[in-house]
């Protein structure tokens, strides 16, 4: 046997062993838990680093310090991680009971948007401001609607083939009220995400597919009406379909509605394969109006390049895979529906955000989950990740394995200490 043949056989054996090891790890009862935890933490860490880099110029302009936005985001991240750590330890029964109360509270907060406490940002009135802070109630409404809907669909799981039973009270009035209040604040992006969350949960619940065709037609009609009644949205669609309109000869468009999509693509093109270096972005120097928020993915592409962008995409794909594992592996109908809602929320919002940055979708205006700056979005997405982690802990064997590991680590440390003491 030649050395080349022997090395090929050895290489093939090694590859099979690695594949078997990977399958063994994925079959572990703690695989979903650790995959969710690691991807959430990595995305949050990347978000903090990129918010620091992307917001420096804005912070200097507004606060005479390059760290103002970052410090706020670090506080939000700390609060969100605490919420996640608490949520992941809460038993499943609590999440089954809290949905109705949470939804009523979220709707109450959403109504405050239309009082003097309401704050309007770039045409959207979807925030509440008080004592120097602002919150976005629609973010809280997402997780509340998911928990409420999961409970309702679980209770009606045997009659979801009936049109009326599937709609009431999850879609009508609960989701309908949330969507109405959000649209009254002119936040179309959030409304689209919420509508798709509801559709994803109904699909996971086994609602007949033919109903989605009718629902899709109605949803598209409402989306078209919302777009055609807003000149700003019509302009966004127009320049998305025909980017050649964004020429220097039309300064109103060039320095107006064309500014964000054009400079997002400039940033991605400048980044190339490996990026121009962390902190070296040119587009964050007031060319992109929201470099640390809705367009942070453009700064990632510029500073970290295509490779950095693919890492972020890979982490979202891994998060989605972990959530999907929960959906297909659980025997709890409530967990299946709620996990589907969170999975659709995070992935759809990421797709809309990244699609707008790269030009595959018109600009809609939603943050990149875990990554963009903004307290309401970060805290609620980390809370949602905590809910998924709580579900993962309820998988057969997971809680027992997690309780054994710390004891094993402590035992190993004790043995190591004794052996060192005996040598001394």
Q: Can you give the pLDDT at residue 215?
A: 87
pLDDT in tens, 77-106: 999 999 999 999 999 999 999 999 999 999
Q: Do the bridges between strand 133-135 and strand 118-121 make them parallel or antiparallel, or are there none, so unpaired?
A: unpaired
**DSSP symbol at 169:** T
Averaged pLDDT for residues 331-359: 96
Whether 189 maps to a domain, the answer reads yes
Whether 251 maps to a domain, the answer reads yes
pLDDT in tens, 279-290: 999 999 988 888
Q: Can you give the pLDDT at residue 6?
A: 56
Report the alpha-carbon distance of residue 203 to residue 187 in Å, rounded.
25
Mean confidence (pLDDT) of the chain: 88
pLDDT at 297 over 60: yes
Whether 139 maps to a domain, the answer reads yes
Rounded (5°) CA angle 325-326-327: 90
Residue 207: strand, helix, or coil:
coil
Q: Can you give the pLDDT at residue 36?
A: 97
For 404, phi and psi rounded to 5 degrees? Answer: -75, -35
Averaged pLDDT for residues 25-49: 92
pLDDT at 74 over 90: yes
Whether 48 maps to a domain, the answer reads yes
| DSSP H stretches of helix in 131-258 | 137-155, 163-167, 176-184, 188-204, 210-228, 231-241, 251-254
Long-range pairs of 336-339 with CB within 8 A, sequence gap ≥ 24: 336/204, 337/149, 337/150, 337/153, 337/154, 337/201, 337/204, 337/205, 338/95, 338/146, 338/147, 338/149, 338/150, 338/201, 338/387, 338/391, 339/388, 339/391
Whether 407 maps to a domain, the answer reads no
Averaged pLDDT for residues 138-162: 95
Averaged pLDDT for residues 239-249: 78
Range of the domain at 371: 30-393
Higher pLDDT among residues 30 and 122, named by residue? 30
Report the alpha-carbon distance of residue 258 to residue 246 in Å, rounded.
6
Q: Can you give the pLDDT at residue 144?
A: 97
Whether 21 maps to a domain, the answer reads no
Q: What percent of the chain has pLDDT over 70?
A: 89
End-to-end, the C-alpha distance of the chain in Å comes to 52
Q: Give the number of domains in the chain.
A: 1
Whether 275 maps to a domain, the answer reads yes
Please say whether the dihedral angle defined by the alpha carbons of residues 167, 169, 171 and 172, taken in this order, is positive or negative.
positive
pLDDT at 5 over 70: no
Whether 416 maps to a domain, the answer reads no
Q: What percent of the chain has pLDDT over 90?
A: 65
């Amino acid at each position: 046997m030649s050395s080349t043949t022997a090395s090929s056989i050895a290489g093939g054996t090694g590859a099979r062993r690695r594949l078997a090891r990977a399958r063994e790890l994925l079959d572990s009862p703690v695989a979903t838990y650790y995959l969710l935890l690691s991807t959430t933490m990595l995305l949050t860490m990347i978000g903090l680093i990129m918010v620091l880099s992307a917001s420096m110029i804005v912070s200097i302009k507004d606060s005479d310090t390059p760290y103002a936005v970052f410090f706020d985001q670090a506080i939000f991240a700390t609060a969100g991680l605490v919420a996640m750590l608490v949520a992941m330890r809460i038993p499943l029964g609590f999440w089954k009971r809290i949905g109705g109360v949470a939804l009523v509270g979220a709707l109450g907060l959403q109504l405050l948007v239309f009082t003097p406490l309401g704050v309007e940002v770039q045409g959207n009135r979807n925030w509440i401001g008080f004592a120097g802070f602002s919150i976005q109630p629609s973010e809280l409404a997402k997780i509340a609607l998911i928990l409420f809907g999961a409970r309702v669909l679980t209770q009606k799981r045997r009659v979801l083939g009936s049109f009326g039973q599937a709609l009431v009270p999850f879609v009508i009035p609960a989701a309908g009220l949330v969507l109405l209040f959000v649209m009254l604040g002119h936040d179309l992006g959030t409304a689209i995400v919420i509508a798709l969350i509801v559709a994803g949960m109904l699909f996971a619940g086994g609602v007949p597919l033919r109903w989605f065709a009718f629902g899709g037609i109605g949803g598209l009609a409402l989306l078209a009406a919302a777009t055609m009644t807003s000149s700003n949205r019509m302009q966004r669609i127009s320049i998305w379909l025909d980017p050649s309109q964004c020429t220097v000869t039309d300064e109103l468009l060039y320095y107006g509605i064309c500014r964000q999509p054009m400079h997002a693509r400039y940033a991605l093109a400048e980044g190339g394969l490996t990026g121009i270096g962390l902190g070296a972005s040119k587009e964050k120097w007031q060319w992109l109006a929201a470099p640390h928020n809705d367009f942070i993915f453009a700064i990632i592409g510029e500073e970290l390049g295509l490779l950095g962008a693919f890492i972020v995409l890979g982490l979202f794909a891994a998060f989605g895979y972990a959530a999907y594992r929960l959906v297909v592996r659980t025997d709890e109908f409530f967990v299946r529906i709620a996990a589907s809602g969170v999975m659709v929320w995070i992935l759809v919002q990421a797709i809309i955000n990244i699609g707008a940055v790269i030009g595959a979708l018109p600009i809609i205006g939603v943050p990149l989950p875990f990554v963009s700056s903004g307290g309401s979005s970060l805290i609620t997405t980390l809370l949602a990740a905590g809910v998924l982690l709580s579900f993962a802990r309820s998988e057969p064997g997971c809680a027992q394995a997690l309780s054994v590991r710390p004891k094993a680590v402590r035992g190993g440390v004790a043995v190591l200490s004794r052996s060192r003491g005996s040598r001394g």
